[in-house]
């Protein structure tokens, strides 16, 4: 019975990723007394911006392609020109359940890369013109 309990303990120690011994961990290579090892949840790198399109299945392929080239890419290019990073873009529309869409609600979260956790928030409506999604241009207040 003692041998069975010991195997369970060894099994759970192996699952934890770090061995609870007073030497370097095999996984994190830095522990003197083993602590929880940090694991990168994005081993291939985090892809930014994270683009979320509400009810995406109801969009036509043409609208999805136009949103990417005429809205997402110009947004990213604009903020990169200011040395800022677009973190996320959420797109919704006026007709979630149907394929005929006219107006899009676009919400953008941008990091100004200053080490501060306060993001820049941008929200706007983007409407089709003559049935096509136009290229996004930043509007300024004069």
Task: Report the C-alpha gap between 61 and 12 in whole angstroms.
Answer: 48
Task: Report the C-alpha gap between 51 and 89 in whole angstroms.
Answer: 5
pLDDT of residue 133: 96
What is the tens place of the pLDDT at every residue in 39-84?
667 777 889 999 999 999 999 999 999 999 999 999 999 999 999 9
Sheet containing 103-111: give its strands across: 50-53, 85-93, 103-111, 120-127
36 pLDDT band (50/70/90 cuts)?
Answer: low
- Say if residue 12's pLDDT is above 80: no
State the pTM of this model.
Answer: 0.68
Nearest to 109 by CA among 29, 30, 52, 63: 52
What is the tens place of the pLDDT at every residue in 100-112?
899 999 999 999 9
């Amino acid at each position: 019975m003692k041998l069975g309990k010991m195997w369970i303990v060894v099994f759970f120690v192996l699952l934890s990723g770090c061995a609870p011994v007073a030497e370097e961990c095999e996984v994190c290579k830095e522990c003197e007394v083993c602590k929880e090892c940090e694991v990168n949840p994005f081993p291939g790198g985090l892809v930014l911006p994270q683009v979320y399109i509400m009810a995406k299945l109801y969009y036509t392929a043409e609208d999805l392609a136009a949103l990417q080239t005429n809205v997402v890419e110009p947004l990213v290019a604009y903020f990169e020109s200011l040395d800022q990073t677009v973190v996320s873009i959420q797109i919704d529309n006026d007709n979630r359940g149907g394929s005929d869409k006219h107006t899009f609600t676009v919400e953008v979260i941008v990091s100004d890369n200053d080490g501060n956790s306060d993001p820049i928030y941008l929200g706007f409506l983007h409407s089709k013109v003559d049935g096509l999604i136009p290229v996004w241009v930043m509007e300024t207040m004069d």
